[in-house]
Amino acid sequence: MNCPKCGENIGAYRYCPFCGTTVEQSSYSENVTPSLDQPATLADEKTKKRRLSPAVIITCCVLAAVIVFCALMALGNIQNYPDKIISAVKEGQTEQAVLLYSENIEGNKKEEEQVKERLISHAQSIEKDFENKKISYQDAEDQLNTIMEIRIIGDVRTIQDNVDRLHKSRVAYQTGLEYLKSNDYENAIDNLKNVIESDTNYQDAQDRINTSSQKYIEELLKSIDDFKNQEKYLEALNAAKKGLTLFPDTSTLMIAKEDCQNLYDQQVAQNKAKKVEEAKQSQLIPVTDCKIKVQSTDMKSLYPDMICAIVKNNSDKTIDYLEISFIGFDENGYPLKIEGDLDFSGAALEKFAKGDALNIIPAASWGDDMGFKLISNHKVKTPMACVVKAKFYDGSEWENPYYKYFKEEYVGKPLN
């Protein structure tokens, strides 16, 4: 159909797209002329009418992309808990990592195994990074502790122990170097010996130990001689022992140790003998004599032999009470178990006699006609005695400091 105003072919449109004239219905009907080409023209026009603009197409694409993205994010939120746990571990968020595991993974055996594999793999990466000095010890320790909190224990514990050992080894190496700067060979070697083989510093540590060892031994032997010259034999012995802990097969140190041990033992024995003699000489109530008194040769059941201890009161007080220790030896000087007459407690290496109201005045001696009564068939040839303690009439008491040495040296031991 043609526009009645401009004559242009406008097809089935009611408005002329060329001049804008409204085509009346009647005109529309009158001007429609059947034509073989007209159906094709109408089809083309309908196709043009249904065609979408580029802006609409772009808008639809964007909306579709947003929908797909949201769907993927939702799916990710459901399925990426292992990644979230690993991320929390790396960031030191222990509580967050434990919470993610306990609320979303724990109880699901399959997912537990998957997460365990991921965490162990991450722990191995931590160990490797620490070995290569890519992360600090504190960072490695924090992350491994977080994994341990998730109860992934076994394999991670081994990794954690490896990291700890390497850290201590590195600290020992650096400490050793610091001691070497001040020529403190003993402490330097002591630390360098703690460097482990898996430490990259191990070979250098061994080289430094070998270089420093001879200097250390020379200085140590000199210090041992200095101690010996000052009669500080214990210090000399300890120095030799310390050297042998570092270098156990060094013959010069072994000889020095044996020599120091002998000197120290002699010194201890001399000091002890001095203390014993001082305690013995300072007794307020010493035993001045000890003997076996035979009361009868043929009536021992009535008049048994006695061990008599003669004591002297060197104090300025009157003695009321005494306790005395008695021991005996056979003819060859070996200790005997002695047994008292009418003694129901049985034989013993040491027996005690007690007495009160003795009234021993200052400077007086006592005990010549008193003592420990023996059974008739005793074998005692050499008796000995020592005052254990005493009480005076003024209420004061005295314990004999010599008694502990007496007991230690004589009770149950052969006479020299």
Is 237 within the bounds of a domain?
yes
User: Of 226, 252, 276, which closes a domain?
Assistant: 276
Q: Are residues 362 and 320 in the same domain?
A: yes
Kindly state whether residues 306 and 397 are assigned to the same domain.
yes
Q: Are residues 295 and 402 in the same domain?
A: yes
Regarding whether 262 and 235 lie in a shared domain, the answer is yes
Higher-confidence residue: 19 or 282? 282
203 found inside a domain: yes
- Looking at the fold, whether 232 and 316 belong to one and the same domain comes out as no
Does a structural domain hold residue 182?
no
Tell me the per-residue pLDDT of 129-171, one tens digit each, with 9 for 90 and over.
999 999 999 999 988 888 888 776 668 899 999 999 999 999 9
Phi, psi of 386 (to 5 degrees): -150, 135
165 vs 83, more confident: 165
Examine residue 166 and state whether it is found in any structural domain, yes or no. no
Q: Between vectors from CA 274 to CA 268 and to CA 279, what angle results, nearest 5°?
A: 125
d(CA 101, CA 96): 9
Domain co-membership, 296 together with 404 = yes
Q: Verify that 104 and 4 share a domain, yes or no.
A: no
Within 307-374, residue ranges assigned H as helices are none
Chain segment 209-231, per-residue pLDDT in tens? 999 998 899 999 999 999 999 99
Q: Is residue 173 in a domain?
A: no
CA distance 357 to 308: 18
Q: What is the pLDDT of residue 108?
A: 72
Q: Where are the alpha helices (DSSP H) in 184-291?
A: 185-192, 202-229, 233-246, 251-281
pLDDT in tens, 48-79: 444 556 655 666 566 765 564 544 444 444 45
- Give pLDDT, residue 47: 44
Inside any domain, residue 99: yes
Count of domains for the chain? 4
Q: Which of 17-26, 46-55, 278-287 has the lowest mean pLDDT?
A: 46-55
pTM value?
0.53
Residue 333, in any domain of the structure: yes
Residues 399 and 299 in one domain: yes
For residue 82, which of 106, 115, 110 has the smallest C-alpha distance?
115
- Domain shared by 396 and 297, yes or no: yes
Residue 387 lies in domain: 287-410
**Residue that is last in its domain, among 250, 276, 302:** 276
Chain segment 236-265, per-residue pLDDT in tens: 999 999 999 888 989 999 999 999 999 999
Q: Do residues 128 and 78 touch, judged by C-beta distance below 8 A?
A: no
Residues 8, 121 share a domain: no
Q: Is there a single domain that holds both residue 291 and residue 227?
A: no
Please say whether the beta carbons of 217 and 242 come within 8 A.
no
First-to-last alpha carbon distance for the chain, in angstroms, is 153
Distant-in-sequence, close-in-space partners of 91: CB < 8 Å, separation ≥ 6: none
pLDDT of res. 281: 96
In a domain, 174, yes or no: no
The pLDDT, as a whole number, for residue 106 is 72
Query: Residue 95: pLDDT above 80?
Result: no
Report whether 186 contacts 216 (CB < 8 A): yes
What the block records as the tokens of 11 is 């097809």
Query: Do 302 and 400 belong together in one domain?
Result: yes
Range in 153-167, 277-291, 375-389 with the lowest mean pLDDT: 153-167
